[in-house]
Structure formats: C-alpha cells, structure tokens
Amino acid sequence: MVGDGAGGAREGRAHPNVRLLEAFYQAQAAFYAGGDDTADLRGLLADDIAWHVSGRSPIAGHYHGHHEVLGYFAARRAHAKATFRVLPRAVLADDQRAVQLADGQLERDGQLRTWQTVGVFLIAGGKIAQCWLVPFDQCLFD
C-alpha cells in the first residue's frame, strides 16, 4: 500500500507497516522537537534494531540495539540544536519491508538546509528491525 504525501494511505486502508512508520515518524518528530521521552520510539523498535547511515558526516555509521540507535537520534537532535525535522512524503510497504521517501531540514548558521532521503526498513514482529538511510545527495547530507 502506498501512502499519500500527507502521510495517510490511499482509500483509508493503510497496510500495518505504513501505520507503523507513521507512528515512528510522529514519535521521532516529538523527540527531535525537544521531547525527552524515548519510550514511544523504543516501543516501535525491535530489541535487536540496527540502523545504518551512509556517508562521512558526524552521525554516519552503523548502530545496533536500543542504546546505540536512540543515542544516534539524540546526537542527530543535538547536532541540529533541536531544529531537525523529517517531513515524510510517501510510504510503500508489504509484510516484511517498507520504503519511506522523506525530506529533511534543519537550521544552521541562520540558514535553512534541506535534503531528501529514502529510508528502507525491515519489519519483523510488528516493529522496525533495521533501517538503511540513503540520501539522494550524499555530499549535501554529509
């Protein structure tokens, strides 16, 4: 099922993994906006979660388990001084995978910086088990 640009699924019949990613991006948005509670995020991630961020930026790397993945989210938020936003665009999902097109933005040195990414998610047991974050423009993302 493909979601529309507003985050909802066409015809109101969203695949459960589309709804999972919608819940994840809502919890992540609250965290990136300055919230300290990671319980909502943690509940959407498998215990053995793995998160892969390509590139050479300070946040690039491979993160495993709740501690490292949530630490990566916190580093991302701190790096952007809580101005980081993910703007989900569309989701394609089946029973094992989901692909999310999203835009990102942050303010740095008084300027708004924007980029586009695709997140490829492996879903297991109704939770996010792995994510590969792939920017459209790696140099800009770095």
pLDDT tens-digit series, residues 3-27 = 444 444 455 688 999 999 999 989 9
pLDDT in tens, 76-131: 888 777 677 788 899 999 999 999 999 888 777 788 888 888 999 999 999 999 99
Dmax over Cα atoms in the chain, in whole Å? 42
Give the Å distances, CA to CA, from 70 to 22, 35, 40, 63, 86: 18, 13, 11, 9, 16
Whether 4 is in a domain gets the answer no
Q: Who's near 38: CB < 8 A, 6+ residues apart?
A: 31, 70, 73
pTM of the model: 0.83
Whether 3 is in a domain gets the answer no
Q: Domain range spanning residue 137? A: 10-141
CATH number, position 93: 3.10.450.50
Whether 94 is in a domain gets the answer yes
